[in-house]
Structures are given as structure tokens and as C-alpha cells.
Structure 1
């Protein structure tokens, strides 16, 4: 899941993005509304976190414009304005959540994760593929009844593959959903992670390379597997 953070305070922007990444989310961070506009045009986000009052304008007005244009990305406002009228205004223009500064970082991560689950690609709390069991609530993976220890990034990639079983998931989709702007798309980060993930999942292999496209979660004898390479 990928999140956009819009915050003009450099220290807070860095801290929020770092906390989200530590929580297993991909996070891009920008300082103002023009940069947010560009990021939202280029990338499909599962959630956006806006500081309410920015030098470039009130994020409430900006989000109102997003909603009028048909953009439905879930939005959480961060703000020092804590009156009931302020919160009502934020919700009235299409905001989905409202967190008053100062805030507890674990609460922010939990609220953002909850908003991410509201996006179009809603994953069930439990995903089962062959003998692979993915518990998205507990963020645990079992294969053949054995608990596997995965990194946050490995879990995110496997969760996305499991949401599209037997389908080729393009590398671009994996990068867009599971990596943020800190990653170099042309590097081999995806290949390295896939190699590590395959090793942890064991045999028979479930993750296959679809040449020229990306990766697929499939049984070895799945029809059409002739285009797959391990």
C-alpha cells in the first residue's frame, strides 16, 4: 500500500514518512500542494495525509477540488486546529479522517492503514492459496501450517500477488504499490526481494517470473505456465 504525505515542516514530513515505512507502507512525501498535485497525477495512492494549513493554501480547499474532479483517494488531515467546526469542515469537503497535532505516531499509522483498506482493492482478512495462508490482520504467513518470518516489504509483495492469484502482476504495479520514491525503479530491488521470498516460501515454488511482464502467484502446473520462469 502506498501513501502520499503532504507536510511543509521538514522534520515532521520526514518523521511521518519514516513511521509509515516502518509500519510496512510505501510512503512518498512532498512539501506543498503543487507537488502533491503532480504526485497524485503520476501515482495511484491508497491514502493521502495532508497537513491542513500549508504555505501554498488550505488543504481543505484542495481536497474539495479533488472530490469535485472525481478523485476518491482516502484523505487524513493533520492539523493543530481542533475545534468541532474545523473537524466538520474537513469531513464536509470529503476528508475521511482528522488527527489533531500533537499526535501519537502509532495511532497515525493505524489510521492510515485503516484508510488504505477502503480503497478499491480491498483484501480479505485471510487469503488462502494452495497451502499458503496469509493473515492480513495479524500480518502473518503460514505455509503447510508453518509460520514464515517475512520482512514488511516481503509481506506487502506477497499480499499483492495473492490478491491477483494466477494473474501476471507487472513489475510497475509492484513498484507502485510496494515501493516508494526512495527506491530506484530500474534497479534490481524487485528481483532481489523475489529471490528472498521464494527461498522463504520453499517448494514447490509458488512465485513465478512472467518474462517481460512481472510475476505471478501460481501452482507449477497452472495452465499457461509455459511462459513462466522461476
Structure 2
């Protein structure tokens, strides 16, 4: 006997049967619900699945943000999508009530933070180039820790002898630090335009970049690329 399959219920994204005002309100509710339910920033492509083809997501997001004014949470653009986040002014109250935020979940040493900053500005970049920036070897341990935290990933191989791997930042990097895109990195354009932040000048040694007193040197660890990066 043939097995009967249940006919899937089609999802009405257009809502053409509703008056325009009610349709807009329903789209707003759908978009906010999807963002609220997601632990990660939700992209435009995902949200487009629950609204009509002629719906302006930018205007829709603006209306949701307007309704959230005065609320303890807001809708923010981060890592190429949107996410609900509590407002910074309520951070202390959340810490007192729940203990959350009292410890850094993804701690970085001073040297790791500086390495991550350089990768953010100058990606794709090799470990060898990073070592030139700092005037000391940047170990595979440092790179591996940043990778385990999800802040960086292997990029394309560099056009250099041995074709070493480059490193690039990830969406997790953007989300963790509250950036929508890399263009949101602090004063990147102004620093570059002023000639204060230049990959070529740093590699040439024209801009000293130290780790500060008291920072221990990482142990040099052999090869440029770890075995797991070959996969």
C-alpha cells in the first residue's frame, strides 16, 4: 500500500489579503520574532523569507527600532545582520542581578589583543608579517588561541615563497566586538588617510609597535602552518 505524505502548508509571505497597515505590522512581528529567537545575528537573506517581495527591510527595521526606544534592549546591526542586545546602560543592573558579565568569557592578553587588532586592519596577513610588525616571533600558540576563540580563520595562501597561510577575522569577531562590518573598526579610514596606519610602513619598520613592558615573549614553535590548517 502506498504511503501517504502530508501536503506541506505553504507559508504566506506576501499577506496580500491583509490591508497594508496590518500587513506591515505582521511583517514587523515576524522579523522581530526571528531575530529574537536566533542566538546569532540574522542576515537580510534570512529575514527576506518571512516578508513580501516588495517589503523594505531597512524601513521595517527602522520602525521596529522606533518602537523599542525607551526599552532596555535594542536592535543592532552587527556582523552583517541584526541582533537583539540589552542596552549598555543596564549592564551593571544585569551583573548585580545575575552575575553575568562580571568575567570576560573570551579573555585576551595584551599581546593577543594587539595581534588581533593588526589582523583586523591588515587582513589577509601571514604570521611572518605579524612577527615583522612586532619585532618578535608571533607563536602558533597565539594564533591558535585566537582561532579557538573564533575570532580569526585561515585565509588564502600568500603569494610568497612557501605560500604561507594568511589570517582573516570572522563574523564572530564582528559580533563579539559589536561591529557590523570591518569599516566600523575605530578610525580606520582616518588613520590610513593620515598615514599613521600603513601595512607597508609597518613592514618597513617606520612605525614602531611594541607590546609594552612586562609582556613575556611567546616560545617560537617551528613551522609556519599547523598540520590541521592543511585540511
TM-score above 0.5, yes or no: no
Higher strand share: 1
TM-score, normalization: structure 2? 0.26
Flag the structure with larger Rg: 2
